[in-house]
Amino acid sequence: MPSISIIIPTHNRGELLMQTIASVQAQTNRDFECVVVDDHSTDDTASRMQAVLDTDSRFTMISVPSGRRGAQAARNIGIERAKGDYVMLLDSDDLLAPHCIEQRIAVMQSNPQLDFVVFPCECFIKQPGDVSLLWNVQTSEPDLDRFLKGDVPWQTTSPIWKRDAIVSLLPWPEDVPVAQDWEFHIRALARRMQYARFGSVDHYWRQAESERESIGKNSFKPELLRGRVGVNERVLKIIKDAGLLSDTYRDYLAGLFWQSAERVAQRVSRKEARLIWQKAHDLGLIKAAQLKQGRNYLLLARFARLHPHLLARLKRHWPASFFVTRSATYLKSPVPRQIESV
């Protein structure tokens, strides 16, 4: 039985997938299995992978069945197939440092009380080191608070999981088109799973130049904006079920609904935006006065000359946490020397 299972969902990334596979094959700890889960690729992924399968028995490839789609479905299938004591997830365009598996297994074996451990992630465009920015920094603020405020402290490959722990969190939601990883990690934290942060940078998240603008544009597609509202509702239920819905968390969640309402007003329709804000009220996140103020703003803010005055008025009356602000550290912080990849 392998020590660790590495799950790689992929879709039409044949060339980049081979770079990812090469980083797995370069590991100093060779006791692993790597399960590539193909999500209906139509490029040369199958033929490229066949060359790997013919020469390295540690790799297998399975396919997402018809009727299921998306990275989240591929992750569910891969995790259910995993045989290792530990599991980690790796996107098919990202890379591992050679010491990644060795470092992670050593930390987990030295800390058997932990369900998962989080490691620092470095961003890159063409090759590791060309940007030298962290995904995000570690702070003294609780990680659950940061997730709820949109200051996402780690990404999908950052944790290594005990297999039983990650299996207990399944499934990744397959019926929402956005933010599944955000919801998944919030679920782990809300269940009070035991975790810690350790080690040096050991994985690299690719932010391709050609995707920088498209990622931003794609996030404003109507179906993704609507999907985000559904994910917000899921997270509210997670927090409620865990008995964690404090006034502070209620305000954070209200802020996420307000962010969605504003974006839908700008990109889809103001009527739909007002319904989103109404939903926040129906779910008990905001008061009647805040509902009325928000609906009036969404109605009148189409007049550009009124917009800044209306927004300033809301900011005087509403909690600051209603207004989701861009993280000052996400994708902006240089890699500290003490956690540089070794």
Phi then psi for residue 121, to 5 deg, are -120, 135
48-61 pLDDT per residue, tens: 999 999 999 999 99
How far apart CA 270 and CA 288 sit, in angstroms, is: 19
Residues 6+ apart with CB under 8 A from 301: 265, 307, 310, 311
Tell me the angle at which helices 247-267 and 288-300 cross, rounded to the nearest 10 degrees.
Answer: 20
Q: What is the pLDDT of residues 5-14, one digit of tens each?
A: 999 999 999 9
pLDDT, tens digit, for every residue of 100-142? 999 999 999 999 999 999 999 999 999 999 998 999 999 999 9
pLDDT of residue 213: 40
270-281 per-position pLDDT tens digit: 999 999 999 999
47, with CB counted inside 10 A (0-12, 13-18, 19+), is exposed
CA distance 166 to 181: 13
Q: Is the pTM of this model over 0.85?
A: yes
Q: Is the pLDDT of residue 211 over 50?
A: no
Question: What span, in angstroms and rounded, lies between the C-alpha atoms of 98 and 168?
Answer: 29
**Per-residue model confidence (pLDDT) at position 301:** 67
DSSP code of 44?
A: S
pLDDT computed for residue 128 by the predictor: 94
User: Is residue 253 exposed (0-12), middle (13-18) or buried (19+ Cβ within 10 Å)?
Assistant: buried
The dotted CATH code for 4-211 is 3.90.550.10
CATH 3.90.550.10 in the chain is located at: 4-211
